[in-house]
Amino acid sequence: MEWNWQQSDWPQFAHKKSALADLENRFLHQSGVFLGALKHVSTEDKNTLIVDLMSMEALKTSEIEGENLNRDSLQSSIRQNFGLEAKNKNIPPAEQGIAEVMVDLYKTFNAPLSHSQLFAWHKMLLKGRRDLNPGAYRTHAAPMQVVSGALHNPEVHFEPPPSKAMQREMTRFIQWFNNTKPDGKTPLPALTRAGIAHLYFVCIHPFEDGNGRIGRAIAEKALSQCLRQPTLIALSHEIQERKKAYYERLEKNNKDNEITDWLVYFANTTLKAQDYTQKLIDFLIGKSRLYVKLRGKLNERQEKVLARLFREGPEGFEGGLNAEKYIAIAKTSRATATRDLQDLVEQGALLRTGALKHTRYWLNIS
């Protein structure tokens, strides 16, 4: 098996520009729509959106690698890093680390990529770990392999360049990344550059652990630089939703340096992530309008349940809100829950579907 980095044209990735042209235009158009929508969001809600998106991305980029983190701890850590919340010493190291990466990415997106920034991100990711060498490229002599299956008969999906080549490969990668930014020597379109950057980085696989998470952060840095501001695109959320396809595409494109197929996949994934981010913006705008409409008309129980519904995001509770869930959240009786829910429907806060035991309630923010 010959891998892409073993071929004479490495790392001169080739692709058909015509296959990306419409996707690049859609990305720029939707970015403009997103920025226009943000103007209608209050500062408080914008801060909420930033924290929600960053914590969701931190959660999802970790889930892609099989690590399940605590959402509340992530949000608290991100808010602390932005100075929106007092310091809490009880946040676990894993949540602190990925939160620090996300905030640093947001604050320094336009800075050139460097070895030192990558080492800093790696140290953040491995916070609390003592089994690896944080903040340094891999150095072990044995080949690194991405494998699956039984230990006695593993399936090798990829073998990246040897450790002795890491400094050379990463210096070349960093030079390419900085040269291809909008004001660089050889600028590339947003989706093309981000897609190549992610694939190029994970094919080098420079670290003992954390390559996927750092690779996705690099892709988001590339998108942000092309838009000249933090993207806030739910990229990891979209990848996690279809994780199998993500790994299949990576594997398919580690044997050849013609990567049109990968770039089309990555571009469509980014556009779907962009759509989801726009959905969150619309949800926040709807939330603000609904609260203005209901100001002074809700009792404490109703406020508590609505706040919980909004916390669940655009998808809401799985299966919708019912009387039992209302009783559990508001800690009230069935009769009171029935009256509260009927009142919320009459005020236009909730929509009701079904009947009897199948009755469900949904936020009315269209």
At 1-19, the pLDDT tens digits run 689 999 999 999 999 999 9
Question: What CATH number is given to the structural domain containing 134?
Answer: 1.10.3290.10
Same domain, 106 and 184: yes
Residue range 50-71, pLDDT digits in tens: 888 899 899 999 999 989 999 8
- Among 110-114, 193-197, 231-235, 257-261, where is mean pLDDT lowest? 231-235
- pLDDT at 145 (0 to 100): 85
- pLDDT at 323 (0 to 100): 94
Same domain, 162 and 309: no
Given 230, 252, 282, the domain boundary residue is 282
Question: What CATH number is given to the structural domain containing 313?
Answer: 1.10.10.10
pTM of the full structure = 0.87
Segment 115-120 shows an average pLDDT of: 98
Same domain, 278 and 330: no
Judge whether 99 lies within some domain.
Answer: yes
Same domain, 205 and 244: yes
**319-325 own/partner pairs: CB under 8 Å, 24+ apart:** 319/360, 320/353, 320/360, 320/361, 320/362, 321/350, 321/360, 321/361, 321/362, 322/359, 322/360, 322/361, 323/359
The domain total for the chain is 2
**247-250 own/partner pairs: CB under 8 Å, 24+ apart:** 247/157, 250/158, 250/199, 250/202
Judge whether 83 lies within some domain.
Answer: yes
Question: By the 8 A CB rule, do 233 and 270 touch?
Answer: yes
- pLDDT at 150 (0 to 100): 64
What is d(CA 186, CA 176) in angstroms, rounded to the nearest whole number? 9
- pLDDT at 151 (0 to 100): 65
Same domain, 347 and 212: no
Domain that holds residue 192: 4-282
Same domain, 25 and 169: yes
- pLDDT at 149 (0 to 100): 66
Reply yes or no on whether the pLDDT at 90 is more than 80: yes
Same domain, 52 and 121: yes
Judge whether 324 lies within some domain.
Answer: yes
Same domain, 215 and 303: no
- pLDDT at 132 (0 to 100): 80
Residue 352: what are its φ and ψ, rounded to 5°? -110, 135
The angle subtended at Cα 191 by Cα 274 and Cα 119, nearest 5°, is 95
Higher pLDDT: 348 or 87? It is 348
Judge whether 332 lies within some domain.
Answer: yes
Same domain, 28 and 52: yes
Judge whether 288 lies within some domain.
Answer: no
Same domain, 237 and 337: no
What is d(CA 88, CA 230) in angstroms, rounded to the nearest whole number? 26
Q: Which residues of 3-15 are buried (b: 16+ CB within 10 A; e: fewer)?
A: ebbeeeebbebeb
Reply yes or no on whether the pLDDT at 169 is more than 90: yes
